[in-house]
Chains A and B, each alone.
Chain A
Amino acid sequence: MTDTLTPVLSAHWDDERAWKLSRYEATGGYRAARTALGMDQDDIISLVKDANLRGRGGAGFPTGMKWSFVPQDNPNPKYLVVNADEAEPGTCKDIPLMMASPHTLVEGIIISAFAIRSHTAFIYCRGEVLHVHRRLQQAVREAYAAGYLGKNIFGMGYDLDVIVHAGAGAYICGEETALLDSLEGRRGQPRLRPPFPAVAGLYASPTVVNNVESIASVPSIVANGKDWFTSMGTEKSSGFTLYSVSGHVKNPGQYEAPMGITMRELIELSGGMREGHELKFFTPGGSSTPILTADHLDVPLDYEGVAQAGSMLGTKALQVFDDTVSAVRTALRYVEFYKHESCGKCTPCREGTWWLVLLLMEFEQGVAKEGDVEKLLDIADNIGGRSFCALADGAVSVVTSFIRHFRSEFEQGYHTPAWELFPYEKSALFSAEGDN
């Protein structure tokens, strides 16, 4: 069973004080960075391109290609911004990574910033996770003290400053342009594109925004080569990645595996479903991705496989729900999140998520009216693809995918409260009595 897993990023997470520079170096840390600083920058970009490392933040855009969009003839400084604003319901991979092995990220930043000719990098860390923020700061401080950041890194003539920045609690700041506005000290709201960040991002200068896991994967590619990387995963989705399994399984957690593993394998790895219960549905990549059901247990969890199944790989956050769970209640909780996190800039997201929540509450209470399912779908249709950024599309995915798979449960909302159909205490994982 352990053969399925390919721990690279998570290889040393359970080592004693794995987050210290000394421990990291003892396991080969910062060797790749030294190698990279001796390379031609374009060769690093080509390496990452050839390895086909795709963005681990959800969209799966090839990282190396993103780097190559940075116009090197632009006289402004170039910036690398690491998106560590992990806040999607279900998604929990970057935070443990930064907690357990922050130097993997720092090393990745050195290589990536060098490749795009940047001398200033920012880590935009979700503000609520103060312990992670502190750990990052400590790691950066250690790296400066060791001469791995700052002037003349490793004595190899390259200068790089890394700034750890705490967000102030807005999910929208995970959207890259909102993140940049927030980093500049403004309200976090998405920007009009074009211009794209690669051309005019932070302080109107060329900027690459990458996810934590993407950047953290770079040192291993430099160390082991593209063939090693592409030997894992599937044809179009190479490499290993962190799958975060949570919910009604026996051993929830991070499972680092090659791209293309299936939900069936992951449930087995995590000890199977709760005793006496069946899988009802799961999210393949966090709450924004349309749910899948037991019919999709054998879908390869890579970008193409999940897309073919009508969803998105997203952040590979697999929230697993068993047969005790009300689809209506889950949809409402998810949409409440989007309503709460809507930045308010555009009409469909601001007003649409407000309306969806009020309507879904009626479904939950069993007081929805005949035809309200169609109304929900129509409202969702007026939101989806009409909003300024993709945040509202997440709310729309919830509504449309839950209705697609569990329409009858919604129709029962015309007369019966969800808690009568699915007593809520039955799906609780942690109850006072421990009788789950």
Chain B
Amino acid sequence: MTIDAKSSTELDRQVDLVTLTIDGTQVSVPKGTLIIRAAEMVGTNIPRFCDHPLLDPVGACRQCLVDIPDAGNGRGFPKPQPSCTMPVAEGMVVKTQVTSEMADKAQKGQLEFLLINHPLDCPICDKGGECPLQNQSLSHGTAETRYGLPKRTYPKPINVSAQILLDRERCILCARCTRFSEQISGDPFIELVERGALQQVGIYEAEPYDSYFSGNVVQICPVGALTSAAYRFQARPFDLVSTTTTCEHCAAGCELRTDHRHHQVKRRLAGENPEVNEEWNCDKGRFGFMSARADRLRHPLVREDGVLRPASWPEAIDAAVEGLQRAGRSVAVQTGGRLTVENAYGYSRFARAVLGTNNVDFRSRPQSAEEAAFLGAHVAGRDVASSVTYTDLENAEHVVLVAFEPEDETPIVFLRLRKAARDKGLKVSTIAPFISRGSKKMQATLVPAAPGEEAAALEGLELDAGTIILVGERAATLPGVLSAVAAKAEASGARFAWMPRRAGDVGALDAGCLPGLLPGGRPVSDAAARVDVATAWGVDSLPSDTGLTADEQFAALASGRLKALVVSGVEVGDLSDPAAARAGLEAADFVVSIEQRPSEITERANVVFPAALIEEQAGHFRNWESRSLDVGLVTAAPASTMTDLRILAALADALGSDLGFRTPGAAWASFSELLDWDGAKVAAPSVAAEGRADGVLLSSWRELLDDSRGNDNEVALRQTARDIVARVSPATADRLGLNGAVRVSVDGRAQELPVAITPDMVDDVVWVPMNPGSGDRLSVDPGTAVTVSAVTGGEGEEA
């Protein structure tokens, strides 16, 4: 009773309803609703082109004209009015094309105008078959043209960026693309230019449309004016089969619509998930799906006489079992960031219940013990209800970014923060050495900090319960930062979230792919937790020893303490110390690699199993909010490959054990049973910050588009990456005499790149992008002192 009363008053407070009549039907909608959307409530679709629910109204195309005989004040409009710009009013009477001849004629007239200069090239247009202009011409237009005069023509198409092409003849100038780039992503590098019938979308001279979100303009273009180099001429929409799924490129958790034909993914579109990505995604998520096109592994490989050769599945499984049995419990498991929850859960159980070891770690990247404790204490085993969410970010008063660059590292979080900053006055503060382009677009305030100074900078901020702190996974290598975030939140009432970069990280954490954590955030050290999991898994007991982290595993392999490694989805170049990893792999007695494509690790492995691609399996990802999101089976895998889960189940069988499940559905059911844990968590870390080191310190993060292997075969996508530069403050540039090209070096490794002198940057810091694939990567953690010097003459050109 009280609950009902409360919720009804809340409803009254939140939603002020306005009642109007549309085509004779009375409807009540929230105050401020536009007529065009109120009409949808009574089942009338008013045709439209420029209108888009996530963009500010513009009223440019005039397609949605309706008759308003009474504006709610007893007086009507003599002329038809655009329903996309006019909000409803109490007592308003609206007649759409359904009941008003005037509205119908006005709409038909606008469609005729839009078509007079539009080419009739639908049969060769990429949009043909899914084109709002085509569809609405059929549903609302006239059958024949009265025009019969020459059409306006332009050379076509022209590139507005390496990825995006513009056909100006097809453009109907609805300004959706230009509004998106200005209002949503904040990259207004396309704009309407010229006037009258010559008005067109244009770019500034030689400046391309530079945006991480450019693919969205292709998706929202209501005609075939904007196309992508990636999808152009690849398929007809009506030949494609669509599947709803979740993007695997980062922890944002964007819903995707993946379209395939002939067992090949042809394109990916942003799906609609209002709570997560709304209707947007980033270019990496949209265009980055061809990496395995050229070189995927199609059959198992077994090393014989030092050389990998193709093998049958039974032979490869036998070889793997033999090697693993030889190693006994001197074995470890590493899982990278690409795995679904189900696969990660499979590895967790495989390590602990089949191999009998706690040596399992998903962190194929720089890591720390402080991080492991932080994750166990604050992140593992959470659900979306107890986590910070996108909606929380949008409604927060203040968001503080610590070791986190949303635009590069979780682009959809960036879009949401920018939206809140633009629409709701959200204050964003970034603890960083300089204001990045993304931070500028969020109107963020810089809290200047050199690497190592983040904890002190955070401590100096005045925060309250309206604040959310977002701390990036990069904080793992900055001692004391994660401890400081939790402590600051505790002291101020602020909330916080950990922002991993990879789609599989939160799922792997919850699945128990950390040495000290069982599924659901149960500490390995807790006997009750071990009994709980052992019971669920139907095994007698689980190992209770302290397992080895990924870094420790490589060291143990090198020292001979560990014999074998089962590894999936790990790139050596991503690791904190690739040299140490290589040494460990070299010394290992036996390496089983479960992988999609050849890598440094498959080259070293004794047995290689070909794993299914993301589009070839069902399952889930858990994004940074700990929200479970469906991964859809898009197209069947080739018969010669298997999912990670299926491979593990086969190995378990052959080892005389039982993984307990072999399908994603069964794994998910088992995982879900273990999500609830109300016992004690891992103790929170309390590591003191060390402050900044001496010298010029390295600052670095991965830019969204770089030469990571996930972008292989994406020619146009790679070309839209940002220019690689080294950033220093004017004073540092002055002191070190930097101008033109610089050399950044440490421990005998060096990178040469152009310098970008960055105003208001912290002195004695050099920022370079962290590009995993590049051969001259520095491979040291941010915060390390490096040598920066000017490159003179020919040396610069060599670089």
- Partner-B contacts on A (CB < 8 A): 170, 172, 187, 192, 339-348, 350-355, 358-359, 375, 379, 381-388
Sample of 13 A–B contacts (CB below 8 Å) = A344-B173, A344-B197, A346-B59, A347-B62, A347-B110, A347-B113, A348-B113, A351-B116, A352-B113, A353-B197, A355-B116, A385-B80, A388-B59
- A187-B192, A386-B106 are contacts. A345–B113 as well, Cβ < 8 Å? no
Chain B stretch 161-188: residues in CB contact (< 8 A) with chain A = 172-173
13 extra A-B contacts, CB within 8 A, seeds A344-B195, A384-B79? A340-B196, A342-B195, A343-B195, A343-B196, A343-B199, A348-B113, A351-B114, A354-B116, A355-B116, A382-B105, A385-B78, A386-B106, A386-B110
B80 contacts A386, C-beta separation under 8 Å = yes
A351 to chain B, nearest CB (A): 4
B233 interface hit (Cβ, 8 Å): no
B112 interface hit (Cβ, 8 Å): yes
Stretch among B145-153, B381-389, B429-437, B588-596 lining the A interface:
B145-153
Give the chain B neighbours of A381 by CB distance below 8 A.
Answer: 105, 109
- A354-B152, A358-B149 are contacts. A346–B197 as well, Cβ < 8 Å? no
- A346-B60, A382-B112, A388-B59 are contacts. A354–B117 as well, Cβ < 8 Å? yes
B62 contacts A346, C-beta separation under 8 Å = yes
Residue of chain B at shortest CB distance from A339: B196
B194 interface hit (Cβ, 8 Å): yes
Q: In the complex, which of the residues A348, A353, A375, A385 contacts B196, with contact meaning CB atoms closer than 8 Å?
A: A353
A341 contacts B196, C-beta separation under 8 Å = yes
- A192-B57, A343-B195, A388-B62 are contacts. A348–B110 as well, Cβ < 8 Å? yes
- Mask: chain B, 98-133; 1 = CB below 8 Å from A; 0 = not: 000000011001101110110000000000000000
Residue of chain A at shortest CB distance from B105: A382
B62 contacts A348, C-beta separation under 8 Å = yes
B172 contacts A347, C-beta separation under 8 Å = yes
Give the chain A neighbours of B62 by CB distance below 8 A.
Answer: 346-348, 386-388
Give the chain A neighbours of B61 by CB distance below 8 A.
Answer: 346-347
How many Å lie between the Cα of A353 and that of B193 in the bound state? 19
Q: In the complex, which of the residues B106, B113, B193 contacts A355, with contact meaning CB atoms closer than 8 Å?
A: B113
B146 contacts A375, C-beta separation under 8 Å = yes
How many Å lie between the Cα of A385 and that of B77 in the bound state? 10
Give the chain B neighbours of A382 by CB distance below 8 A.
Answer: 105-106, 109-110, 112-113
B755 to chain A, nearest CB (A): 32
Give the chain B neighbours of A344 by CB distance below 8 A.
Answer: 173, 192, 194-199
How many Å lie between the Cα of A379 and that of B61 in the bound state? 16
Give the chain B neighbours of A387 by CB distance below 8 A.
Answer: 62
- The CB with the most chain A CB atoms within 10 A, among B85, B113, B116, is that of B113
Q: Is the interface of A mostly helix, strand, loop or mixed?
A: helix
- The CB with the most chain A CB atoms within 10 A, among B60, B65, B117, is that of B60
Count residues of chain B with CB under 8 A from any CB of chain A: 37
- Mask: chain B, 129-149; 1 = CB below 8 Å from A; 0 = not: 000000000000000001101
How many Å lie between the Cα of A1 and that of B616 in the bound state? 94
- A344-B194, A351-B116, A358-B149 are contacts. A386–B109 as well, Cβ < 8 Å? yes
How many Å lie between the Cα of A354 and that of B151 in the bound state? 10
Residue of chain B at shortest CB distance from A349: B196
Residue of chain B at shortest CB distance from A170: B195
A194 to chain B, nearest CB (A): 10
Give the chain A neighbours of B149 by CB distance below 8 A.
Answer: 355, 358-359
Give the chain A neighbours of B116 by CB distance below 8 A.
Answer: 351, 354-355
Give the chain A neighbours of B78 by CB distance below 8 A.
Answer: 385
- A382-B109, A385-B78, A386-B79 are contacts. A347–B114 as well, Cβ < 8 Å? yes
B181 to chain A, nearest CB (A): 15
B63 interface hit (Cβ, 8 Å): yes
Give the chain A neighbours of B85 by CB distance below 8 A.
Answer: 192
B487 interface hit (Cβ, 8 Å): no
B241 interface hit (Cβ, 8 Å): no
How many Å lie between the Cα of A53 and that of B62 in the bound state? 35
B58 interface hit (Cβ, 8 Å): yes
A342 contacts B65, C-beta separation under 8 Å = no
A195 to chain B, nearest CB (A): 12
A36 to chain B, nearest CB (A): 37
Q: Is the interface of B mostly helix, strand, loop or mixed?
A: loop
- Mask: chain B, 190-208; 1 = CB below 8 Å from A; 0 = not: 0111111111000000000
B197 contacts A342, C-beta separation under 8 Å = yes
Residue of chain B at shortest CB distance from A352: B113
How many Å lie between the Cα of A173 and that of B62 in the bound state? 21
How many Å lie between the Cα of A216 and that of B193 in the bound state? 35
Q: In the complex, which of the residues B59, B60, B79, B117 contacts A351, with contact meaning CB atoms closer than 8 Å?
A: B117
How many Å lie between the Cα of A161 and that of B105 in the bound state? 50
Give the chain B neighbours of A192 by CB distance below 8 A.
Answer: 57-59, 85
How many Å lie between the Cα of A233 and that of B152 in the bound state? 50
B147 contacts A355, C-beta separation under 8 Å = yes
How many Å lie between the Cα of A350 and that of B171 in the bound state? 13
Give the chain A neighbours of B113 by CB distance below 8 A.
Answer: 347-348, 350-352, 355, 382
- Mask: chain B, 724-766; 1 = CB below 8 Å from A; 0 = not: 0000000000000000000000000000000000000000000
How many Å lie between the Cα of A407 and that of B318 in the bound state? 95
How many Å lie between the Cα of A386 and that of B65 in the bound state? 8
Residue of chain B at shortest CB distance from A338: B196
A350 contacts B80, C-beta separation under 8 Å = no
How many Å lie between the Cα of A340 and that of B565 in the bound state? 73
How many Å lie between the Cα of A192 and that of B199 in the bound state? 19
- A344-B173, A355-B116, A386-B65 are contacts. A350–B199 as well, Cβ < 8 Å? yes
Give the chain A neighbours of B193 by CB distance below 8 A.
Answer: 187
Residue of chain A at shortest CB distance from B117: A351
Residue of chain B at shortest CB distance from A388: B59
A350 to chain B, nearest CB (A): 6
How many Å lie between the Cα of A196 and that of B260 in the bound state? 50
Give the chain B neighbours of A384 by CB distance below 8 A.
Answer: 79
Give the chain B neighbours of A358 by CB distance below 8 A.
Answer: 149-150
How many Å lie between the Cα of A350 and that of B194 in the bound state? 12
How many Å lie between the Cα of A351 and that of B195 in the bound state? 12
A130 to chain B, nearest CB (A): 21
B197 contacts A339, C-beta separation under 8 Å = yes
Residue of chain A at shortest CB distance from B78: A385
Give the chain B neighbours of A345 by CB distance below 8 A.
Answer: 60, 173, 199
How many Å lie between the Cα of A386 and that of B173 in the bound state? 17
**What 10 pairs across the A-B complex have the smallest Cβ distances?**
A344-B199, A382-B109, A385-B79, A351-B113, A342-B196, A354-B197, A358-B149, A344-B195, A344-B196, A347-B113
- A354-B116, A358-B149, A386-B65 are contacts. A347–B105 as well, Cβ < 8 Å? no
Residue of chain A at shortest CB distance from B199: A344
B326 to chain A, nearest CB (A): 73
A336 to chain B, nearest CB (A): 11
A344 to chain B, nearest CB (A): 3
How many Å lie between the Cα of A339 and that of B197 in the bound state? 8
How many Å lie between the Cα of A355 and that of B80 in the bound state? 21
B103 to chain A, nearest CB (A): 11
How many Å lie between the Cα of A369 and that of B788 in the bound state? 78
- Mask: chain B, 31-69; 1 = CB below 8 Å from A; 0 = not: 000000000000000000000000001111111010000
How many Å lie between the Cα of A433 and that of B90 in the bound state? 69
A67 to chain B, nearest CB (A): 25
- Mask: chain B, 542-573; 1 = CB below 8 Å from A; 0 = not: 00000000000000000000000000000000
How many Å lie between the Cα of A351 and that of B78 in the bound state? 23
Chain B stretch 443-490: residues in CB contact (< 8 A) with chain A = none
Give the chain B neighbours of A342 by CB distance below 8 A.
Answer: 195-197
Give the chain B neighbours of A172 by CB distance below 8 A.
Answer: 195
Give the chain A neighbours of B117 by CB distance below 8 A.
Answer: 351, 354
Residue of chain A at shortest CB distance from B146: A375
A351 contacts B197, C-beta separation under 8 Å = yes
Give the chain A neighbours of B191 by CB distance below 8 A.
Answer: 187
B141 to chain A, nearest CB (A): 13
- The CB with the most chain A CB atoms within 10 A, among B59, B105, B147, is that of B59
A350 contacts B106, C-beta separation under 8 Å = no
Residue of chain A at shortest CB distance from B193: A187
Give the chain B neighbours of A388 by CB distance below 8 A.
Answer: 59-60, 62
